[in-house]
């Protein structure tokens, strides 16, 4: 899964520039979490549009990791892009006060959707398009909040597996600490993506490349050494989250 980083970097920079121009926009706005995906998207967007045309929104909740905020601020400083910090705690807590007892996943979804409300409001204010930060691994597995962190006008990272995001991030100069830290949506204390998923990104990307990119059968995957239970779990995730990867079906009246 080795990436030609120079070629892909140029392609994604061109994609961002072309798609914004096609829609009649010059500026982009994005959520900058302090993770590697949003950091990479910020590097690509600033190269494509110019630092003066990229606005990064830092949208912490009161339980968010201070380290994540610090890493986001470092990316802003390195790139010289514009930024605003907006604490979403009062907005989220106003709803949670009425919601009663809810689990961590529901709470996390509420945070993700509140962040997107802010992003789209600012995008209207500034006449800017929302640039997405979700990668191909997350999309295939359904590891994202519909109308939350998966919502965007364009998504430059959507065809990159997570391990390819790491490769490209290193090539463009994302700080190594951000690349190497445990991936997390930072939705609750000590939450990590891989603990939630039950497997590592490196393991699942190897399987997804064989299963999706090369279209190998389960029999061939098993012969290659993949555990049948792992294959079944990943296939179930892909099938079960198909609705997140497509526009809502429209009933055609005849």
Into how many domains does the chain fold? 1
Give the per-residue pLDDT at 187: 75
Does residue 107 register a pLDDT over 90?
yes
Give the per-residue pLDDT at 44: 98
Ranges of beta strands (E only) in 99-245 are: 128-130
**Inter-CA distances, 228 with 160, 167, 222, 231, 233, Å:** 25, 29, 6, 5, 9
Per-residue pLDDT tens for 142-187?
A: 999 999 999 999 999 999 999 999 999 999 999 999 999 988 877 7
**CATH number for the domain harbouring residue 93:** 3.40.50.620
Give the per-residue pLDDT at 185: 77
Closest CA to 28 of 173, 130, 154, 167: 130
Let me know if residue 155 belongs to a domain. Answer: yes
Give the per-residue pLDDT at 78: 98
Let me know if residue 250 belongs to a domain. Answer: no
Let me know if residue 190 belongs to a domain. Answer: yes
Let me know if residue 145 belongs to a domain. Answer: yes
Give the per-residue pLDDT at 79: 98
**Inter-CA distances, 73 with 49, 59, 143, 206, Å:** 20, 12, 25, 32
The one-character DSSP state at 212 is I
Let me know if residue 82 belongs to a domain. Answer: yes
Let me know if residue 228 belongs to a domain. Answer: yes
Give the per-residue pLDDT at 152: 98
**190 is in which domain, residue-wise?**
5-245
Burial class (CB in 10 A: 0-12, 13-18, 19+), 81: buried
Residue 232 parent element (H or E): helix 228-240
Give the Cα separation of 146 and 157 in Å (integer).
Answer: 17
Does residue 191 register a pLDDT over 90?
no
Give the per-residue pLDDT at 196: 87
Mean pLDDT of the chain: 96
Cβ partners under 8 Å of residue 171, min gap 6: 5, 6, 9
pTM here? 0.94
Confidence of residue 34 (pLDDT cuts 50, 70, 90): very high
**Residue range 137-142: mean pLDDT, rounded:** 96
Burial class (CB in 10 A: 0-12, 13-18, 19+), 210: middle
């Amino acid at each position: 899964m080795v990436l030609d980083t120079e070629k892909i970097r140029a392609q994604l920079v061109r994609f961002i520039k072309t798609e914004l121009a096609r829609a009649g926009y010059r500026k982009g706005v994005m959520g900058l979490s302090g993770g590697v995906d949003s950091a990479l998207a910020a590097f690509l967007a600033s190269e494509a549009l110019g630092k003066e045309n990229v606005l990064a929104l830092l949208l912490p909740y009161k339980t968010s990791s201070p380290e994540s905020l610090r890493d986001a601020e470092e990316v802003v400083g390195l790139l010289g892009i514009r930024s605003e910090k907006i604490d979403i705690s009062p907005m989220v807590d106003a709803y949670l006060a009425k919601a009663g007892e809810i689990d961590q996943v529901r709470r996390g979804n509420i945070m993700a959707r509140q962040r997107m409300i802010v992003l789209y409001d600012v995008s209207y204010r500034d006449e800017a398009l929302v640039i997405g930060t979700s990668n191909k691994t997350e999309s295939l597995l359904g590891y994202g909040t519909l109308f939350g962190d998966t919502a965007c006008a364009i998504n430059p990272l959507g065809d990159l597996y997570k391990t390819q995001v790491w490769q490209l991030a290193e090539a463009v100069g994302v700080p190594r600490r951000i690349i190497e830290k445990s991936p997390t949506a930072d939705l609750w204390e000590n939450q990590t993506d891989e603990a939630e998923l039950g497997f590592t990104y490196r393991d699942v990307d190897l399987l997804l490349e064989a299963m999706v990119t090369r279209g190998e059968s389960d029999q061939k995957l098993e012969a290659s050494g993949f555990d049948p239970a792992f294959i079944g779990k990943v296939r179930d995730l892909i099938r079960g989250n198909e609705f997140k990867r497509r526009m809502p079906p429209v009933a055609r009246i005849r």
